[in-house]
Amino acid sequence: MTTRGLRSVFKATALLAVVFLLIAGFGFFDYGDSLSRIKPIVTGIVKPTPAETKPSNLDDSPTTSQTPEPPNASGGIRYYFKSSDINPLAKGENRIENLAKLRNLALRDLIAHPEHYDEDTTVIFSNDVALCMEDILEIIHQRKFQGADQTCAMDWTYVGDNPTYYDVWIGRGMTGDLFFNIPEDGSWDNAWNLFYNDPKSQARWSTSKPFQVFSCWNGITAFTAKPLMEKKIKFRTHKEGECFQGEPKLFAKDMWFNGYGKIAVVPSVNVEYSDEGTKKLRALKGSTSKSQIPMASVVHIEQ
């Protein structure tokens, strides 16, 4: 791509006022004794600062405190690149508390200096899913188009010939239930019957239309930065009296409590945790760019 083309991309991205946070595989897979491959990347789109255009190179093995110079981007793009010694899988450690710390570390500048960011900033978190650019753009677009506080994809895993919805620990429908029923014996035999007790959500999911949920993460998510910038919420572990649960679900609970309960799943964005799996998934379920759902049929989620 030419320098002019890159500059156009940077400017277009800056207009989105997006904070892009790529957090790879926090605790979802066994990384052994080392989390050296988990490197939070924070890219903050801030108010343009022409002086901040000095180029820089990234070392392949950053230190915990490394903060590179801003890249050469006339749109005023600033990024922070850090790794951390916080290990959610360490023996004797509170996994959820450490995951929350890592996510808050990625958000640190946004929370500490909200004046650096546009008031309509969107935060994006991605797990180690195989993504296409259009997936990210669609999640952002649908958050704006639906007037949602948070949007999520649908993430899947192949445990057999057919894909199975993956993020069962976090996803909860408006009924308060799991996306599919898991009995006390832990069986996933009912994974084929998504939204079994919520006909409205089931109908919208089956026609690739966004639908409202209580909580989701699903491999990639975009949410408003406002409650973070207002210091109303942050990622956390459960409090005394609360059930043990993941930090993304507690984040959604706190979003609802503070008036940010418009949370939606965008079923036209489907992701998997390997390149091959995502190729199969897109061939089976389609993709955003090849969606056959007319835009006029995409209905805004309810208040």
Return the closest-CA partner of residue 88 out of 41, 4, 25.
25
Alpha carbon dihedral 127, 131, 137, 138, in 10-degree steps, equals -90
pLDDT of residue 287: 81
| Among 288, 283, 228, residue whose Cα is nearest residue 258 | 228
pLDDT at 55 over 80: no
Kindly indicate the confidence band of residue 34, based on its pLDDT and cuts at 50, 70 and 90: very low
What pLDDT was estimated at residue 75?
57
Mean pLDDT (the chain, rounded): 78
Question: What is the pTM assigned to this prediction?
Answer: 0.77
Q: What is the pLDDT of residue 234?
A: 96
Mean pLDDT of 3-19: 43
Handedness of CA 149, 178, 210, 302 (dihedral sign): negative
- Tokens, residue 159: 């445990």
Predicted pLDDT at 50: 39
Please report the pLDDT score of residue 57 as a whole number.
33
CB 154 within 8 Å of CB 165: yes
pLDDT of residue 286: 81
Neighbour count for residue 55 (Cβ, 10 Å):
10
Q: Which residues of 278-288 are buried (b: 16+ CB within 10 A; e: fewer)?
A: bebbbeebebb
For the chain, give the number of residues: 303
Residue 56 pairs in a beta bridge with none
Please give the torsion angle defined by the CA atoms of residues 95, 99, 102 and 107, in that order, rounded to the nearest 10 degrees.
-150
> pLDDT, tens digit, for every residue of 187-210?
999 999 999 999 999 999 999 999
- In tens, the pLDDT along 230-280 reads 999 999 999 999 999 999 999 999 999 999 999 999 999 999 999 999 999
In this prediction, residue 300 carries a pLDDT of 53
Which of 169, 187, 189 shows the shortest CA–CA distance to 179? 169
Top-confidence range, 8-12, 83-87, 180-184: 180-184
Count of other CB atoms within 10 angstroms of residue 91: 6
Alpha-carbon span 17 to 13, nearest angstrom: 7
| Cα Dmax for the chain | 60
Residue 242 has which token pair? Answer: 């609360």
User: Is beta strand 263-272 parallel, antiparallel or unpaired with respect to 211-212?
Assistant: antiparallel
Q: How large a percentage of the chain has pLDDT more than 90?
A: 58
pLDDT(66) > 60 = no
Q: By the 8 A CB rule, do 206 and 200 touch?
A: no
The pLDDT of residue 222 is above 90 = yes
| Residue bearing tokens 């909200």 | 114
Q: What's the pLDDT score for residue 180?
A: 97
Residue 40 has pLDDT above 90, yes or no: no
